[in-house]
Chains A and B, each alone.
Chain A
Amino acid sequence: MRGLTKGIAKPVLLWALHFTLIYALISAACAPRALLGQNHLLITAVVLTLVMAIAQIFWMWGAAHTGRRSDLNRDEAALLRAGWWTGLISLIATLANLTPVLILPGCHG
């Protein structure tokens, strides 16, 4: 049950990390210090998103796989379902984080 409980928080923690890193990358590229160029921003953000998305898909697959086990009781099944859904919402939200970097040509549109 301990692992299943963690399974609810892991995907959204990953989203939070991804959001923070994308925000930091945009800030690094768009603030007056201009640490990053647009190309570097795009490449880094895409790679970062891919890594995070794969991890989230892996966890969702793991949750679905565990869900097919017959020895789960009602409580464990509820936690597992919660974990799978947080995984799905987090995956969509992670992809949404990437959209500004992907669709905008520069910091100011």
Chain B
Amino acid sequence: MTDRTAYVVDLPEDQSYSGSAKGEPDKGFERIWDAPPGIRYLSSVSHRVVGKRFLVTGFIFFLIAGFLALLVRTQLIVPDNTFLDSETYNQVFTMHGTIMMFLFAIPMLEGFAVHLIPLMVGARDLVFPRLGAFGYYCYLFGGIIVLSSFIFDAAPAGGWFMYVPLSTSAYTQDLSADFWLIGITFAEIASVTAAVEIIAAILCTRAPGMSLTKMPIFMWYLLVTAFMIAVGFPPLIIGSILLEAERLLGLPFFDIALGGDPLLWQHLFWLFGHPEVYIIFLPAAGMVATMLPTFVGKPLFGYGFAVAAVVTMGFLSFGLWAHHMFATGLPVMSLTLFSAASTMVAIPTGVQIFCFLATLAQGRPRMDVPMLFILGFLFIFVIGGFTGVMIAAVPFNLQAHDSYFIVAHLHYVLIGGFIFPMFGALYYWMPQFTGRMMSETIGRWVFWLMFIGFNIAFFMMHLTGLRGMPRRIASYPEGLGWDRLNMLSSIGSYILAAGVMLFVFDFFWHQRHGLRARRNPWGAGTLEWLYTPIPPGFNFHAIPEVRSREPLWDQPELLDRPAPQVEGALRPCTDHRRETMGNDPITGAPMQIVRLPHPTWTPLISAFGLALGFAATLASAYWLVAVGFAIALIGITAWIWEPSDSGVRRDSGLRGLRLPVNVVDPRSHLHIAVVGTMLISFALFASLLFAGLYLWNTQPHWAETTPAADPLMAGLAALAALSLLLFSWASRRAAFGAKVTPVIAVDLGLAVGAIGLGALLFLSIQPVDPYASAYAAVGWALFAFVAGYLAVVLYWSLINALRKAVGAVKPGQMLPNLLIATFAKVVAIMGGMTAAAYLLAGGAI
């Protein structure tokens, strides 16, 4: 709830607020939303453009990874094959897994989310278009870095999970592991930015009247997935940074000779890796839950059950990570705990499947191509789920560990749980992307080739695994009972590939010859089909009020007239700006008008600078690293140095309702985004704390012999954290006031607090040699982490002070003070916890 009322100026529509940009007065609504032509297309930040970029790039990576899979299957088609040497084979299967998991599956779901969320919730664009574009470019450049390893003959070969010690410098002396660690970490920026964007977009920019319970079910799935990304990706990001720091700087995080522990990497990796499976599966299940009612002609059965199941899965899936480590010697009691949680997750999964089956039972489904893929999903995923319950049992898991049974299981879950729904979704939503329908005839061929090919390829692997064939072997001798099964698997993979290639053909063919899609071509009930899907630059002339979960079925006024004439909010385009409605996150009641950015180069420049910095790290060209990061800083500064839109009230076009623009309110999209960002940040911090606690608990000798941090300085650091907390509180109060200039003192107070806390933490860790032990290195990593965040507080508060000093901030435009208040508060807490950890580790408290 709003704890204070922000200062807002109420001006007539023909007057602009002096602090707010007017937009493009020479352009009408449609031209304001047009994508820029020519080379300037790269500066477009529209969700339609960025979403399509994610989808096309993700699909290209899918084809590359699929080609690598065919190389693997060709190598294994006969015993003692010499098609690939073992080193190349290692590279091929490593890159297959890496690309599929990091550069295809997650970006594809981001592409669907970016493209469909605004259309489905009734917004004109995503809430942070520049962040979406920035995330895309980070993903693209990160993917190029990973793929370029082939050019330098340094493709990673240590498996998609990069286990240590194999991937440390001692055993991987070339740059292959660095390509993986740097490229993937960079690409993951896209995932975490997407998480923030999805959370804020779904919670804050829904159509008037769309409460949480009137949201399309897909939005619940995406919302839960976004929170899972926010909590699930940080352990891997931290693990990757620690491993790269070990390789680059020699810090002994995983070095057993200095108190490190290879199992720490496995914990960090699988803390990400298992939720990752659900992060991939849930959006796909959400697509199924959206498409299924369309083809059955009835609403989804058990909306409430499905919501309960997806929220529960979001939590339970984090309790399964160690079931990937059953064979590592963990205590049996731990194994049993994870076995219990792994079995439990079958319950909410089953609830969802039963919701789908009950929906199917309500009517006679139309067997269009998307429906075939939905049935394929149900068949394959349920088999994958059954084998999942089997390997949740510790004794069977130990037997099947690292065998082809596991390969069969994971492909049944991932191909069944993601690829089949994804192809169904591509057929279903393709008119949204191209304005044309794909071929029903070719689509049926695609489905049957994929379905038959998949089952031949992967069902056999259950048997090969039960006959003892281990994963990741480049060849095998004949006569072990694996020959025929491998031959069949390889033939199945070729048939599957033929299905995929036929889809590619259909994609190009339909762009020229496909039927033009009419309005709501599938007869769906959700809002994205309101307009005829010939892709325009804009979404809604007027944002309609929503009174139902299936508005196109239950609100006849939406389809009984041409879409541009449908009544709704924001039809007047008074300020010639890109705008959408902002709502209360829970009830959906209109709360503000959200101003959105126009095309800009800043996301591309910022991402390019970062890419240059990361790539130069690989080449050890450290001057270039500095140049790259300087370019990124310039790009980000230009990005944030824009006129504020807050402080004024405008007509929403909704029965005379006047709403503030970019309101200063804890429920606003920007503040929700900061909360999401701090959730990710705290998960990163918690991952480092976990690393420290883990080493303290498992390597007590090293923890006892590591010198303690300076207790006096650590105590003073705790006090400095408290002072930063106080300035955060002051900044939050100032955000709601009308006075501008006096708040500069608060901004400078935040800056001084950040410098003081950083300096004291630095002084307190001085007695500890980071190279002496893994435990000591984690202590320094904690300092470096908090110092990085304090640097952001310093930079941000100085920018805020400078903007006020030069008159760029008018009364009512103090939203940045609210945002930095929340940011600095969490940073102060992390700084305080670090100081406390130093005191505890040294035995001072």
Contacts and interface: CB of A to CB of B under 8 A. Distances in A.
Partners in one complex: yes
Interface-centre pick from A79, A83, A85 (highest chain B CB count, 10 A): A85
Contact of B697 (A15, A27, A89): A27
A4 to B, nearest CB: 9
Given A79-B213, A82-B308, A101-B333, A1 B315 contact: no
A12 B340 contact: no
Interface of B: 211-214, 303-305, 307-309, 311-312, 314-316, 318-319, 331-334, 336-337, 339-341, 343-344, 347-348, 351, 586-587, 696-700
Contacts of B307: 8, 78-79, 82
A33 B700 contact: yes
Interface in A1-56: 1-2, 5, 8-9, 12-13, 15-16, 19, 22-23, 26-33, 35
Which DSSP category, helix, strand, loop or mixed, fits chain B's interface?
helix
A29 to B, nearest CB: 8
Contact of A83 (B308, B318, B332, B586): B308
A1 B333 contact: no
A74 B333 CA distance: 45
B697 A96 contact: no
Given A32-B700, A89-B344, 15 more contacts: A1-B586, A1-B587, A8-B311, A12-B314, A16-B318, A22-B337, A26-B331, A30-B333, A76-B213, A80-B304, A83-B308, A86-B308, A89-B308, A89-B309, A93-B316
B336 A31 contact: no
A83 B308 CA distance: 7
Contact-residue size bin, chain A (C-beta under 8 Å from the other chain):
35 or more
A107 B332 CA distance: 6
A100 B214 contact: no
Contacts of A28: 697
Interface in A86-100: 86, 89-90, 92-93, 96-97, 99-100
Contact of A90 (B312, B318, B700): B312
Contact of B336 (A74, A93, A100): A100
A100 to B, nearest CB: 3
B538 to A, nearest CB: 30
Given A19-B341, A78-B304, A78-B307, A27 B334 contact: yes
A89 B211 contact: no
Contact of A31 (B304, B305, B318, B697): B697
Nearest to B1: A2
Nearest to B302: A81
A71 interface: no
Which DSSP category, helix, strand, loop or mixed, fits chain A's interface?
helix
Given A30-B331, A100-B340, A1 B700 contact: no
A98 to B, nearest CB: 9
A107 B308 contact: no
Contacts of B343: 96
Contacts of B305: 81-82, 85
Given A1-B211, A26-B334, A99 B340 contact: yes
B289 to A, nearest CB: 14
Interface of A: 1-2, 5, 8-9, 12-13, 15-16, 19, 22-23, 26-33, 35, 74-86, 89-90, 92-93, 96-97, 99-101, 103-104, 106-109
B333 A104 contact: yes
Given A79-B213, A96-B343, A31 B698 contact: yes
A99 B587 CA distance: 40
A93 B341 contact: yes
Nearest to A80: B304
B212 A32 contact: no
Given A31-B698, A96-B343, A100-B340, A82 B333 contact: no
A78 B311 contact: no
Given A81-B304, A100-B336, A33 B697 contact: yes
Contacts of B314: 12
Contact of B347 (A35, A77, A80, A89): A89
Given A31-B698, A32-B698, A100-B336, A108 B312 contact: no
A62 B351 CA distance: 23
Given A78-B213, A92-B344, A33 B698 contact: yes
Contact of A16 (B315, B339, B587): B315
A109 B336 CA distance: 10
Nearest to A103: B336
Contacts of A107: 331-333
Contacts of A9: 311
12 contacts: A1-B212, A2-B586, A8-B307, A12-B312, A19-B337, A29-B333, A30-B334, A32-B698, A33-B698, A82-B307, A92-B347, A100-B333
B308 A8 contact: yes
Nearest to A90: B312
Nearest to A41: B333
A99 B314 CA distance: 22
Given A92-B344, A101-B333, A82 B311 contact: yes
B214 A12 contact: no
A107 B587 CA distance: 49
Nearest to B336: A100
A106 B343 CA distance: 22
Contacts of B304: 77-82, 85
Given A30-B334, A32-B698, A75-B214, A19 B311 contact: no
B344 A93 contact: yes
A107 to B, nearest CB: 4
B530 to A, nearest CB: 22
Contacts of A13: 315
Contacts of B312: 12, 85-86, 89-90
B131 to A, nearest CB: 25
A39 to B, nearest CB: 14
B235 to A, nearest CB: 14
A75 B316 contact: no
Contacts of A12: 311-312, 314-316
A85 B351 contact: yes
Interface-centre pick from B312, B319, B340 (highest chain A CB count, 10 A): B312
Contacts of A31: 697-698
A29 B341 CA distance: 20
